[in-house]
Structure 1
């Protein structure tokens, strides 16, 4: 094998590996938002099956009044399932 062919093969293999690695890294960065069941499981500190505003953090706490459709001061599994999906910003 000629020297130039060898270096071309090495360069091609390296670029291929970099491309594959970058693709996996981008896929890894994409995460689905947690389901309503997962939210309750993660945030329900007193384990009563519903979420009070004190148990919440992040954007869901800011939208509490919108999601709490029966206005009982708690978010039920049904209310979380029917909650409007958050709007995502554009990628830069």
Structure 2
């Protein structure tokens, strides 16, 4: 009887440990989202003065390089519509070895 109880207890402990481990891994996903960032994500990252607009002075990286292409009405800000309608970057093929 005691061996049977110990086996059941061991199985329960292992099952609990595995389920906790799986749950913890699912919650710690630090992977970047796939696809281009949304306008809201860009606002959160670049809108330094929190005016709800993305200005040329606020952007960095590839977005800064292509700012004039994206800002089609040339008002100095990128709107959600302008970002949506922006030309998509060309995909580069990986070199084959």
TM-score range with shorter-chain normalisation? 0.5 to 0.7
Deviation beyond 4 Å, 4+ runs, structure 1: none
Query: In 2, Cα distance between the equivalents of 1:52 and 1:46?
Result: 10
> 5+ unaligned residues in a row in structure 2: which ranges?
1-30
TM-score w.r.t. the length of structure 1 is: 0.60
Question: Are the structure 2 counterparts of residues 89 and 55 from structure 1 closer, same or farther at C-alpha, using a change threshold of 3 Å?
Answer: same
Q: Partner residue of 1:37?
A: 40
**Count of residues paired in the alignment:** 65
Q: Partner residue of 1:90?
A: 93
Q: Partner residue of 2:59?
A: 56
In the TM superposition, residue 42 of structure 1 has moved relative to its aligned partner by 1.4
Query: In 2, Cα distance between the equivalents of 1:55 and 1:29?
Result: 22
Question: Are the structure 2 counterparts of residues 84 and 54 from structure 1 closer, same or farther at C-alpha, using a change threshold of 3 Å?
Answer: same
Q: Partner residue of 2:81?
A: 78
Query: In 1, Cα distance between the equivalents of 2:50 and 2:32?
Result: 31
Point out the structure with the larger helix share.
1
Structure ranking higher on relative contact order (CA contacts 8 Å, 6+ apart): 1
For the 8 Å contact 1:40–1:77, the answer to whether it is kept is no
In the TM superposition, residue 44 of structure 1 has moved relative to its aligned partner by 0.7
For the 8 Å contact 1:51–1:75, the answer to whether it is kept is yes
